[in-house]
Amino acid sequence: LQSKLPNVGTTIFTRMSAMAAECGAINLSQGFPDFEAPLGLREALARATMEGHNQYAPMAGLPALREQLAHQLQVTRGVRVNPDTEITVVPGATEGIYCAVMASVRSGDEVVVLDPCYDSYAPSIELAGGVAVHVPLSEDGFTPDWQRIRAAITSRTRMIMINTPHNPTGSTFTVQDMDELERLVEEHDLLVCSDEVYEHLVYDGKRHCSVLQWEGLRQRSFAHYSFGKTFSVTGWKTGYCVAPPALTAELRKVHQFVAFVAVTPVQQALADFLAAEPNYPQGLGAFYQAKRDLFIYALRDSRFAITPSSGTYFQLLDYSAITSTPDHQLCEQWTRELGVASIPISPFSQEPPERQVLRFCFAKSDEVLLQAAEILCKI
Ligand code: PMP
Ligand code: GLN
């Protein structure tokens, strides 16, 4: 078989989590919490399956869940979304993103991605027959460089993919960035695939900027969310996509033949939990900011240079004062020799990274974070 993705191997998350397990290392690599999801949510899942929510849901998702989501979007973002025509529940944001790309990108279309970017974007674009045009984020702060982005737009550009809060760097878009993006996509008639899975994990009084809040963006965007992040259930693989009716209709045409539906009892549990605890997502920012701060404080005497993450549950540590070893080698070496696993950022970019940084996930219990920091301080 001639591979359709000749340059793709097994994802860095799978490889580093496996290496961490093999070495008995503290696993701050793949992004997932090491603590339990809210008890009420787990009980709701048990109840949902015991009460018979075990057959196919409607293709677009359970109406009760989509209604809760529309209500949430009104409360948290101040936007009105029609749950019937604009929300689709999907088996994970990864599938939602894939379907949005498949529905929009034709052979030869160019899609701008901002490096470093999440590892599923470029392969999704390639499988659709498109071309990923990689534009690096600015070196310091990993923020969008609008001049370079503008210079990358051609008559074949169909879509731009953005991710705020940003995995792997923890940077976030500002209001000015969103204004720039809106001008750009209106001028060039582009679609936007906006990965907002970490929307509630924003720190230091900053506010998440969603494409749903800019009218010009709202009309052209697929916005993607993941319950895995918001409710600490990455293994439930459920998310949703918000897009205007015409885009949603096209996304659903693909979704119905990729997965058809997301898992029914999981959707019922999420709908029940959101009805009982509608403010739960709003508490996440403070919860994770405390974890970030604990981790950074515990590293205060280390040799790492640290710029606090603005969002996500990832913290970059700059190791340039310690060694010039390339990031992918160093993260394997430290997993084996020190017993702390992290993620290199080079697999997220086309070009080798300018900065010498590794990504550490702080969605872990305080004890685990302190234990890892103690080891990292000895380097
Ligand atoms: N986008 C980003 C930036 C992510 O970090 C993740 C987490 N895996 C996803 C998308 C995919 O989310 P899901 O697990 O819901 O597919
Ligand atoms: N999003 C998670 C991370 O960045 C991992 C998801 C995956 O393993 N595909 O670590």
| Interval 172-179 mean pLDDT | 98
Instruction: Give the ligand whose atoms come closest to the C-alpha of residue 262.
Output: 1
Kindly tell me if the per-residue pLDDT of 200 is higher than 90: yes
The verdict on residue 2 lying in a domain is no
- Residue type at position 170: G
pLDDT for the residue 139: 84
Confidence of residue 235 (pLDDT cuts 50, 70, 90): very high
193 and 317 together in one domain: no
pLDDT for the residue 140: 83
CA dist 310 and 164 (Å) reads 10
Task: Mark which of 279, 294, 313 sits at the end of a domain.
Answer: 279
Atom number in ligand 1 closest to CA 167? 3
Kindly tell me if the per-residue pLDDT of 350 is higher than 90: yes
Give the CATH number, domain containing residue 95: 3.40.640.10
85 and 225 together in one domain: yes
Contact 20, 29 (CB under 8 A): yes
Atom number in ligand 1 closest to CA 312? 5
pLDDT digits (tens, 9 = 90+) for 295-334: 999 999 999 999 999 999 999 999 999 999 999 999 999 9
Instruction: Give the ligand whose atoms come closest to the C-alpha of residue 344.
Output: 2
Instruction: Give the ligand whose atoms come closest to the C-alpha of residue 93.
Output: 1
144 and 286 together in one domain: no
pLDDT digits (tens, 9 = 90+) for 102-149: 999 999 999 999 999 999 999 999 999 999 999 999 988 999 999 999
Which domain does 121 fall in, by range? 39-279
Task: Mark which of 235, 254, 279 sits at the end of a domain.
Answer: 279
Kindly give the distance from the C-alpha atom of residue 300 to the centroid of ligand 1, in angstroms, as a whole number. Answer: 30
91 and 17 together in one domain: no
- Residue type at position 177: D
Give the CATH number, domain containing residue 28: 3.90.1150.10
ipTM > 0.95, yes or no: yes
Query: How many Cα atoms within 13 Å fall on the side-chain side of residue 190?
Result: 27
Q: 36 to each of 40, 50, 116, how far by Cα in Å?
A: 11, 21, 30
Kindly tell me if the per-residue pLDDT of 220 is higher than 90: yes
125 and 205 together in one domain: yes
Average pLDDT, whole number, for the chain?
A: 97
30 pocket-lining for ligand 2 (C-beta < 6 Å)? yes
Q: What is the dihedral of CA 150, 144, 245, 111, to 10 degrees?
A: 50
CA dist 234 and 31 (Å) reads 9
Q: Which residues, in sequence order, are CB contacts of 115 under 8 Å at separation 6+?
A: 134, 135, 136, 137, 348, 349, 350, 351
Counting the structural domains of the chain, the total is: 2
b/e code 92-102 from CB counts within 10 Å (16+ = b): bbbbbbbbbbb
18 and 70 together in one domain: no
233-237 CB contacts, 8 Å cutoff, 24+ apart: 233/37, 233/41, 234/31, 234/32, 234/33, 235/32, 236/263, 236/266, 237/91, 237/92, 237/263
Q: What secondary structure letter does DSSP report for 169?
A: T
144 and 195 together in one domain: yes
58 and 120 together in one domain: yes
Task: Mark which of 279, 303, 332 sits at the end of a domain.
Answer: 279
pLDDT digits (tens, 9 = 90+) for 49-94: 999 999 999 999 999 999 999 999 999 999 999 999 999 999 999 9
144 pocket-lining for ligand 2 (C-beta < 6 Å)? no
* Burial classification of residue 148, based on how many CB atoms lie within 10 Å of its CB (0-12 exposed, 13-18 middle, 19 or more buried): middle
Contact 359, 307 (CB under 8 A): no
27 and 48 together in one domain: no
pLDDT for the residue 358: 98
pLDDT digits (tens, 9 = 90+) for 100-113: 999 999 999 999 99
76 and 161 together in one domain: yes
Ligand 2, atom 8, lies closest to the CA of: 13
Query: How many Cα atoms within 13 Å fall on the side-chain side of residue 140?
Result: 1
- Residue type at position 86: E
